[in-house]
A and B are shown apart, each in its own frame.
Chain A
Amino acid sequence: MIRKKITTRRGIFFKGAAKPPELFPFEILPAPPVVTIPLLQHRGPAARPCVSAGDPVARGQLIGRAEDSCSAPVHASVAGRVSGIDRYPYSSAPDAWCVTIENNGSDDFSSPIHYDKPLQESSADELLARLALSGIVDETGLPLDGMLARARQEEKVTTLIVSLLSTEPFLQAVDLLCAESAETLLKGSDLCRKILGAETCVIAVNQRKPANASALSAMLNQERFPGCSLLPISAKYPHQNPRLLLRDCTGVELPFSAPLTAAGCTVIGGEAAARVPEALVELRPCYERVVTVAGDAIASPKNLLVRIGTPVRALLEACGADFGAIQKLVVGGPLSGAAVRDFETPVTKSTTALLAFCTAFPAGSSNPCSKCRRCASVCPLRLDPARLMRQTMSREMASARASGILECIECGCCSYVCPSGINLVHWLQFGKKRSGAGESAPSGHEKVPA
């Protein structure tokens, strides 16, 4: 099932990938006086608020109830009083609301996860029901319990793959996890394997980060986790993507429309796996996360443990950012993250990093495509981004679909290498939207935004 020799072709090794930088120091950021917690921190429908303005809340208390298995519950990250439920200003989704909580400093804790039976005596269904209360969201944006539940329903899944590849530059949450809490990570992976009913659990680690592999193998050698095994992969970016990782491991290429479980495997992120013992053993829901704060405008880069809902200003201040010099502020990784301009933007469950740069690449202007084919040679899905861009420009959406535009995972490799400075991934996103929207016959030649 799992291949012996694994090579990740296509994609990018970033400069310095062979010798990754040291781990930034780890620090716990004190809870801020006010947190703004969005109720939509996952893909799927937003959680429905179950508190109202003026209510007292405890840390860990449920404030947003999950609507269905595609939705994740949201919990208070500080103890205090709900000061308002407002429109979330940083999302255009129609159901994007946020809960503002004023911290009273008491830090009282109340667990939303009920504890009726010890872990060993609980059945997989009971564990899954408890996991559903914890609000853990995988790095793909899906709630972890929903992923596991669907994988259990659909087919017999024999292998669970836990992705610890972390190939994007700057991101260190996974490296920190391996260095500091390898045991929690393995325990969580093993619990997920049990919930899933899978026989084996394969933990994919990045060979370019040998410290991670050695920390985990030291823990695995103690033979406490007989179902788990380590799989070192010399991974290029973006091979942490579940579909790519699945291909690297099993050789099966699944189209975007097929469920990930079709190959008898399912892929979950390492960060989500490490949260499982927190939820099931410590009964702690997901209300904080590690954020890597880095970039050339940051004096002392750090990995901060941050309460969800903390404004990014607090993180920047804790790391000695030069606010006047920040030309670009990115929430997330440098290739997939979103640029923000408001320093009050809150940290969410999917905020992997906060990057502050003194230069504002890209400049915005680009030269015409010189057809150098670098984008096609780097695309991990073997697409031809330049051709797809031309097809999108001329509204040949049937051709674009036939050339696989819907398979694009928007990793940004094509834009990263384009010598003409064209933001190809932006065009591909546009093209995906245009082909998904069922374009009708073009009415003349419409000018498209360049």
Chain B
Amino acid sequence: MSGTTNTIPAIGCDGNSGKAAAAGRPLPVLSSPPHIHSGVSTQKIMLLYLLSLGPSAVMGIIHYGIGAASFMATAVIGAMVTDALVSLARSRTVPAIDGSAAITGLLLALSCPPGLPLWAAAAGSFFSIAIVKGAAGGLGRNFLNPALAGRAFLLLAIPSLFRAGAQPGVFDFSLPAPDLLQELLVSHSSTWIGAVSPLAILAGAAFAFSFRLIDLMVPVLFLMAAFASLWSAHSPETLLTTPVLLHSLETLLSGGVLLAVFFMATDPVTSPSAAKGRTLYALGCGAIYGLFSAAGSTVDAPMHALLIMNCMVPLIDRSITTRFFGKKQGRSGLEVPRHE
């Protein structure tokens, strides 16, 4: 090899590449592997997620009119502006728009009842982004679902406005199939803007699942546990009667529980990482939802259930981890990290 000496030059920087650079040819870039990428970026994921919320948003606008549209727009824009301001304050650089703030804003708007003033949307999204997400360290570091925490904030701040028009939906299951389908498309519930149409939520969830944005284990277990706890809240002698079963089903279809189940409970940031942990989380959510809707408000129950279980996630993540390859099967107690 020409140009090599008995000293070790910096890797790849011997005389020959020097000649190449002198000849005006750019040197190949050095980096550690891998050298290819799937091409899936956070922005793409967030855009697809927004699209999967589209059907619910459109049905909300159709049902509640321009007021709902402006409420959603205010929440989304408020969230994005807050996100930009928080990023500027934290790092003094203009942040990349990754779309996560828009999702938080839209979910907040969809989880609010219709008829709230626009300033509520702005205040809620400010709380969601600045306090719940930004103060915790930004994207991926919040322990509460920001949209639901924003909703909880509004519920505490302006309870009278929240209570004004809340009415869980009523489904008449005795209707013939086409009419029932129409009821499922546009229900009469006026609880969450996004909960107008159970079918739209399911369509959005199917879209999200087809792009593997959400996993179905948590929603399915959540709904099963919720159904079980709703059902078992009835008196023992009536448990097996049809009206009781249908009433439990009706509760699940009305209110915002479907939206919460598919688009909030599946949030990877605020749910456990191990599959077993997610099972526990989903069952816990369902059970708490059943308790709250039996004892209090069906409309707010999904929010209570998710926020309570969000708080449990760090503990679940500590105690339940995936058994990695080659690890002996054994009792997995609470894993306490030893600080060196």
Chain A residues proximal to chain B, CB less than 8 Å: 34, 36, 86-87, 89-90, 92, 98, 100, 169, 243-244, 247, 253-256, 258, 323-324, 326-330, 332, 334-345, 355, 357, 360-362, 364, 367-374, 376, 380-384, 387, 395-399, 402-404, 407, 412, 415-417, 419-421, 423, 425-426, 429, 439-442
CB of B31 within 8 Å of the partner chain = yes
| Beyond known contacts A334-B36, A426-B32: 13 more, CB 8 A cutoff | A98-B1, A100-B1, A255-B326, A323-B25, A341-B29, A360-B31, A362-B31, A362-B37, A370-B139, A371-B268, A383-B325, A396-B339, A425-B32
Are A328 and B28 in touch, CB under 8 angstroms? Answer: yes
Cα distance, A416 to B16, chains bound together (Å): 32
With A334-B35, A342-B17 as contacts: A367 and B42 at CB distance below 8 Å:
yes
Shortest distance between the CB of B304 and any CB in chain A (Å): 23
Q: Which of A336, A342, A384, A419 has the most CB of B within 10 A?
A: A342
Are A87 and B35 in touch, CB under 8 angstroms? Answer: no
CB of B298 within 8 Å of the partner chain = no
Cα distance, A87 to B11, chains bound together (Å): 12
Cα distance, A336 to B100, chains bound together (Å): 32
Q: Which of B27, B28, B35, B138 has the most CB of A within 10 A?
A: B35
| Residue on B nearest A35 in the bound complex, by CB | B1
B-side contacts of A376, CB under 8 Å? 273, 322
Q: Which of B268, B325, B340 has the most CB of A within 10 A?
A: B325
Are B338 and A404 in touch, CB under 8 angstroms? Answer: no
Instruction: Give the size of the chain B interface in residues (CB under 8 angstroms).
Output: 55
| Residue on A nearest B8 in the bound complex, by CB | A87
CB of B34 within 8 Å of the partner chain = yes
B-side contacts of A344, CB under 8 Å? 1, 14, 16
Give residues of chain B (34-85) contacting chain A, Cβ–Cβ below 8 Å: 34-38, 40-42, 44-45
Are B38 and A417 in touch, CB under 8 angstroms? Answer: yes
CB of B20 within 8 Å of the partner chain = yes
Q: Which 8 A-B pairs have the closest CB atoms?
A: A255-B326, A412-B34, A381-B325, A404-B324, A399-B337, A341-B12, A360-B29, A371-B140
| Residue on A nearest B11 in the bound complex, by CB | A90
Cα distance, A357 to B37, chains bound together (Å): 13
A-side contacts of B34, CB under 8 Å? 334-336, 412, 415-416, 425
With A327-B28, A417-B40, A421-B37 as contacts: A87 and B4 at CB distance below 8 Å:
yes
Q: Which of B32, B34, B322, B327 has the most CB of A within 10 A?
A: B34
Cα distance, A145 to B36, chains bound together (Å): 34
Chain B residues proximal to chain A, CB less than 8 Å: 1, 4-9, 11-14, 16-17, 20, 25-38, 40-42, 44-45, 96, 98, 100, 138-141, 268-269, 273, 321-327, 335, 337-340
Q: Which of B1, B5, B17, B96 has the most CB of A within 10 A?
A: B1
A-side contacts of B323, CB under 8 Å? 382
Cα distance, A360 to B30, chains bound together (Å): 9
| Residue on A nearest B44 in the bound complex, by CB | A419
Shortest distance between the CB of A159 and any CB in chain B (Å): 19
29 contacting pairs across A/B (C-beta < 8 A):
A89-B11, A90-B12, A329-B28, A335-B35, A337-B35, A339-B30, A339-B32, A344-B16, A360-B28, A361-B35, A361-B36, A361-B37, A362-B37, A367-B42, A370-B42, A370-B98, A376-B322, A381-B325, A384-B322, A396-B337, A396-B339, A396-B340, A398-B337, A407-B326, A407-B327, A412-B34, A415-B33, A420-B41, A421-B37
A-side contacts of B33, CB under 8 Å? 330, 332, 334-339, 412, 415, 425
Cα distance, A370 to B12, chains bound together (Å): 35
| Residue on A nearest B16 in the bound complex, by CB | A344
| Residue on A nearest B36 in the bound complex, by CB | A334
| Residue on A nearest B28 in the bound complex, by CB | A329
Shortest distance between the CB of B137 and any CB in chain A (Å): 9
Shortest distance between the CB of A278 and any CB in chain B (Å): 28
